[in-house]
Structure 1
Amino acid sequence: MTTRRRILGSICASGLLLLTAACGKDPEGPDCGEPLYGGSATDEAWMTMVDAKKKAADSSRAVTVMWPAEGEVHPQNVPPPTISWTSPLRASLECDTPGRLAQAGLRPSRGPLAWLTELLVPTAEAHLPPFTGDIYWVQVTVPGRECPVEVLTSELSWKIDDASWSIMSEPTSQGLSLQITSAYLQDNRLKEGPFQLAKPRTFQRSSSTP
Structure 2
Amino acid sequence: MTTRRILGTVCASALLLLTSACDGNEEEPTKCGEPLYGGSATDEAWMTMVDAQKKPMDASRAVTLMTPSEGETLTANAAPPLISWTSPLRASLERHQPGRLARAFPRRSPGPLAWLGELLVPTAEAHLPPYTGDIYLVQVTVPGRECPLEVLTSELSWQMDAASWSTIAGANGQELSIQVTSAYLQENRLKEGPFRMATPRTFRRAATP
TM-score w.r.t. the length of structure 2 is 0.73
Q: Work out the number of aligned pairs and report it.
A: 166
1:74 partner letter: L
Q: Kindly indicate whether the alpha-carbon contact (under 8 Å) linking 1:177 and 1:202 is maintained by their aligned counterparts in 2.
A: yes
The DSSP-based 3-state class of the residue aligned with 2:169 is: coil
Provide the residue aligned with 1:13 in structure 2. none
2:47 aligned partner: 47
Identity across matched positions, percent: 67
* 2:75 alignment counterpart: 75
Aligned equivalent of 2:113:
none
Which residue is equivalent to 1:135? 135
Structure 1 residues 171 and 51, CA gap change in structure 2 (3 angstroms): closer
* 1:124 alignment partner in structure 2: 109
Q: How does 1:14-33 map to 2 (within 5 A)?
A: 31-33=31-33
Alignment of 1:135-154 (within 5 A): 135-154=135-154
Deviation of 1:128 after TM superposition, in Å, equals 1.1
1:52-67 matched pairs, under 5 angstroms: 52-67=52-67
Do the aligned partners of 1:171 and 1:206 also contact (CA within 8 Å) in 2? no
- Matched with 2:103 is 110
- Cα distance in 2, alignment partners of residues 97 and 167 from structure 1: 40
Match in the other structure for 2:93: 93
**Residue type matched to 2:50 in 1?**
V
Structure 2 Cα separation of the partners of residues 179 and 31 of structure 1: 19
Contact 1:170 1:205 in 2 (8 A): no
SS in 1 for 2:34: coil
The residue type equivalent to 2:109 in the other structure is A
Query: Alpha carbons of 1:34 and 1:97: their partners in 2 closer, same or farther (altered >3 Å)?
Result: closer
Query: Deviation string for 1:87-121 (max 9, x for gaps)?
Result: 011101111245xx6xxxxx33229xx9xxx7xxx
Aligned to 1:177: 177
- 2: CA distance, partners of 1:36 / 1:51: 18
Segments of structure 1 that go 5 or more residues without pairing to the other structure are 1-29, 102-106
The 3-state SS of whatever aligns with 1:180 is strand
- Does the aligned pair in 2 maintain the 1:64–1:85 contact within 8 Å? yes
* Letter in structure 2 aligned against 1:124: S
Alpha carbons of 1:174 and 1:208: their partners in 2 closer, same or farther (altered >3 Å)? Answer: closer
TM-score relative to the length of structure 1: 0.73
What amino acid is the match of 2:188? N
